Structure 1
Amino acid sequence: MTGLILCLGTLALALLVWEDRNVKQYRRSFKHVIYVNGIRGKSTVTRLIDAGLRNGGWRVFCKTTGTDPMTIGVDNIQRPLIRRGRANIKEQIKIMRQAAQENAEILVIECMAVDPALQAVSQHRMVCSDIGVITNVRLDHTAEMGPTLDDICDSLSNTIPKGGILYTADTQFFSRIQANAAAIGCRVELAQPTPDLPQIDFPENLALALGVCLELGVPRATALAGMLQYQPDPYALSAFRLSGGAIFINALSANDPQSSRLIYERLQTKTKFSHRKLILLINNRPDRGYRTRHMILLARSLMPTELWLIGASQFASERAFLRALPHAAVKKFHQVSDLPLDQLGEDTMVFAAGNIAGPGRALIERVREEGRPDVL
């Protein structure tokens, strides 16, 4: 028995050494690795960077986690990433191998780890990026990253590249990020939007992507022209006109109250829909109980006329929302097909938030079938 244990231990060690050697070999094949982290906007920023660099003549391989994991090969074709079992950060090694096989010069890859220790391992033992991105620091993933924004900032800082360059658009936490980066010899750049940026996406996301492209020598006009053609995440922020005339806003991928509120405020300013009756539709995940508290914060700030609940923990959520918003009508729906979307008229807007998982996907598929895309 002792001999068997020793043999297995030796084999495991050999596999680790072999894997480490391969990872280093893959990394040496790239001129640059760009690792995108943050609470909101990671997938979009990853895709925008990919599009800008690609238009600048670089051979780019891109991988996003997003709602569904996707790759964009050197051939600029988007492909779904098929997982066998649960997500595992070792997936990043597979992506590095695939990018190396396609002779990519630059790998642009979204961080898939939430746990602080796994974030550190993914950066310093796997992808070893020389350019990092922290999109923003928002109140989410508190169970893994910690209960405060400072905790979350420090957790995200685990992917800062040692001796590299980091871009962020978070003005509130810039000083803390800069201090964390200085400890490992990393230069930090604050990407700030300018009024002349095209309205492709949120200006902060565009400014981040543009900053990275400029860092790698792509002219501004060339990078922006590429970003105009970028491939958005299939479930990214979108708007639809329902059959009865109501507006439906898909903000299900914005899971934290600050991001959801910013989306609502910017759309309100841009589209002038403040005269419409607001229905806040919230989809709950069974493994994200803390987000109910976050969505209560959102509901209090938006003050909807009605609040519709789908997904998990509806009875507990209903009690919590009734206590927080006694003026609002709270309604539960067990099936997406039960939602009376076709009965909503032009005086109504549905703002969907919370999470895309579970019935969220079915909801968006139904809205796509019954409604038509609207311009945000």
Structure 2
Amino acid sequence: MLEKWIIFLFALTIIGFIIENKLAINRRKQFKHVIYINGTRGKSTVTRLIDAGLRQGGYRVFCKTTGTVPLTIGTDNVERRIKRNGKPNIKEQLWVLKKAQREKADILVCECMAISPELQCISQDRMVRSDIGVITNVRHDHMEEMGKTLPEICDALSSTIPEHGVLFTSDVNFYDQLKQNAKKRHTEVILANLQNEFEHEHFRENMVLALSVCEHVGVAKEVAMEGMQHYKKDPYALSLFLLESGGVFVNGFSINDPDSTMAVYDKLTKSALLKHRKCILLINSRADRLSRTQQMIELAIQLKPSEVWLIGSMKAMARRTLEKKGMDVKVFNASSTIDFKTIDAHFFVFAVGNIAHEGVQLMRKIEMEGREIG
């Protein structure tokens, strides 16, 4: 009797998979394009920029982004937070297909939420089935799942390359490897041209990459640029706040990897606003993100800031390591105990690590006490 039940349940599961797959295929056919954005840094921003550019071009767009806060932007251009029961699951992408179809979207613009190469592949080939892929760049992040070296990470990110489609990237260093990987999928790779475009933008590669995608779909450059100038920023994206005491707070929680964090730091410290100020590096850590914490510790050692402030779950471990290196470290049990009135015009606070938990509380405090200036 038990064996019959097992066979019955197994058969039911197989039937469920078949129906689910058929529904996904049928829903995919309703869209002119599905654009799937992957990469280490800038996924959420590029997703939102593409969304804004295409809307300006007259397309009905449904957008889904999984940045610091998972959100959809409906065809009505209204943001709605995704309510999750439990941990994130890539089956969420099937729900996105269904939602976009119901709203009669012309184009679905979707950020990849999978980390492991296997799940990235499933999300592309069995769920969204994009015809336009984007890999923003290849940097060190999620090394436990994607690999220790940059070429390994590039191969992992290549799991979302569409078949018989087109792939866009702005990463010159991995263009050739992406081209080789895309050839196996019969897909063309287009390298976004960064020359003379958006020279004064902090992350012009994101703007140029999104613009290239919009132009490929058929939106005129000037039209797409107009839309992108008013795109909806990701909550807790890179931002600067002027504090009451004259200090500056830089929210860098959304920066995922040490390479990008260093690049942002270099760019900021060359700016007129910050180049004469001393840096206080604030690190928020999570117990389930040990590798990220280790990366931020190494970054602190490399940057040699005036002080390091620690909040979050791994602050004791971080403190021991940094104090052994002779660094001036302060530990805060909660972000609410930090007195930003002590930060005068000679300093700026650069907050990095994870946005979750204490990071969110800290940003609420900053939004109340400071004024956003960039």
TM range (shorter): over 0.9
Alpha-carbon spacing, 1:153–1:291, altered in 2? closer, same or farther (3 Å): same
| Cα deviation 1:118-173 (Å, max 9, x = unaligned) | 00000011101000000111111011111111111110000001111000111111
Residue 260 (structure 2) pairs with residue 259 (structure 1) = yes
Determine the structure 1 residue equivalent to 2:365: 366
Q: Is the 8 A contact 1:32 1:131 kept in 2?
A: yes
Q: What is the alpha-carbon distance in structure 1 between the residues aligned to residue 333 and residue 41 of structure 2? A: 28
Residue 14 (structure 2) pairs with residue 10 (structure 1) = no
Query: In the alignment, residue 177 of structure 1 is paired with which amino acid?
Result: L
Determine the structure 2 residue equivalent to 1:355: 354
| Cα deviation 1:248-297 (Å, max 9, x = unaligned) | 00001112111111111122223342221210000111111112221133
Determine the structure 2 residue equivalent to 1:164: 165
Map 1:185-204 onto structure 2 (within 5 A).
185-197=186-198, 202-204=203-205
Residue 35 (structure 2) pairs with residue 41 (structure 1) = no
Q: What is the alpha-carbon distance in structure 2 between the residues aligned to residue 53 and residue 165 of structure 1? A: 17
**Superposition CA RMSD, Å:** 1.2
Map 1:15-164 onto structure 2 (within 5 A).
15-164=16-165
Query: In the alignment, residue 341 of structure 2 is paired with which amino acid?
Result: D
Shift in Å at residue 197 of structure 1?
A: 2.1
SS of the residue 1:107 aligns to: strand
Determine the structure 1 residue equivalent to 2:215: 214
Query: In the alignment, residue 331 of structure 1 is paired with which amino acid?
Result: K
Shift in Å at residue 189 of structure 1?
A: 0.7
SS of the residue 1:271 aligns to: coil
Determine the structure 2 residue equivalent to 1:285: 286
Q: What is the alpha-carbon distance in structure 2 between the residues aligned to residue 8 and residue 296 of structure 1? A: 49
How many correspondences in the alignment?
A: 373
SS of the residue 2:271 aligns to: helix
Q: What is the alpha-carbon distance in structure 2 between the residues aligned to residue 75 and residue 302 of structure 1? A: 44
Q: What is the alpha-carbon distance in structure 2 between the residues aligned to residue 72 and residue 223 of structure 1? A: 17
Task: Quote the sequence identity (%).
Answer: 48
Q: What is the alpha-carbon distance in structure 1 between the residues aligned to residue 49 and residue 199 of structure 2? A: 13
Q: What is the alpha-carbon distance in structure 2 between the residues aligned to residue 221 and residue 274 of structure 1? A: 34
Q: What is the alpha-carbon distance in structure 1 between the residues aligned to residue 231 and residue 255 of structure 2? A: 20
Q: Is the 8 A contact 1:237 1:249 kept in 2?
A: yes
Determine the structure 2 residue equivalent to 1:332: 331
Q: What is the alpha-carbon distance in structure 2 between the residues aligned to residue 299 and residue 314 of structure 1? A: 13
Q: Is the 8 A contact 2:285 2:312 kept in 1?
A: yes
Q: Is the 8 A contact 1:193 1:206 kept in 2?
A: no
Q: What is the alpha-carbon distance in structure 2 between the residues aligned to residue 48 and residue 334 of structure 1? A: 37
Q: What is the alpha-carbon distance in structure 1 between the residues aligned to residue 364 and residue 199 of structure 2? A: 29
- TM-score calculated relative to the size of structure 1: 0.97
Q: What is the alpha-carbon distance in structure 2 between the residues aligned to residue 49 and residue 200 of structure 1? A: 16
Q: What is the alpha-carbon distance in structure 1 between the residues aligned to residue 174 and residue 298 of structure 2? A: 21
Shift in Å at residue 199 of structure 1?
A: 5.0
Unmatched runs of 5 consecutive residues or more in structure 2: none
Unmatched runs of 5 consecutive residues or more in structure 1: none
Residue 256 (structure 2) pairs with residue 247 (structure 1) = no
Q: Is the 8 A contact 1:200 1:228 kept in 2?
A: no
Shift in Å at residue 313 of structure 1?
A: 1.5
Q: Which runs of 4+ in 1 moved over 6 A?
A: none
Shift in Å at residue 5 of structure 1?
A: 1.3
Alpha-carbon spacing, 1:12–1:123, altered in 2? closer, same or farther (3 Å): same
Q: What is the alpha-carbon distance in structure 1 between the residues aligned to residue 357 and residue 60 of structure 2? A: 36
Q: Is the 8 A contact 2:301 2:322 kept in 1?
A: no
Q: What is the alpha-carbon distance in structure 1 between the residues aligned to residue 225 and residue 21 of structure 2? A: 37
Query: In the alignment, residue 367 of structure 2 is paired with which amino acid?
Result: R
Shift in Å at residue 214 of structure 1?
A: 0.6
Shift in Å at residue 188 of structure 1?
A: 0.5
SS of the residue 1:96 aligns to: helix
Shift in Å at residue 112 of structure 1?
A: 0.2
Q: Is the 8 A contact 2:37 2:47 kept in 1?
A: yes
Query: In the alignment, residue 345 of structure 2 is paired with which amino acid?
Result: E
- Higher mean Cα deviation, 92-101 or 258-267? 258-267
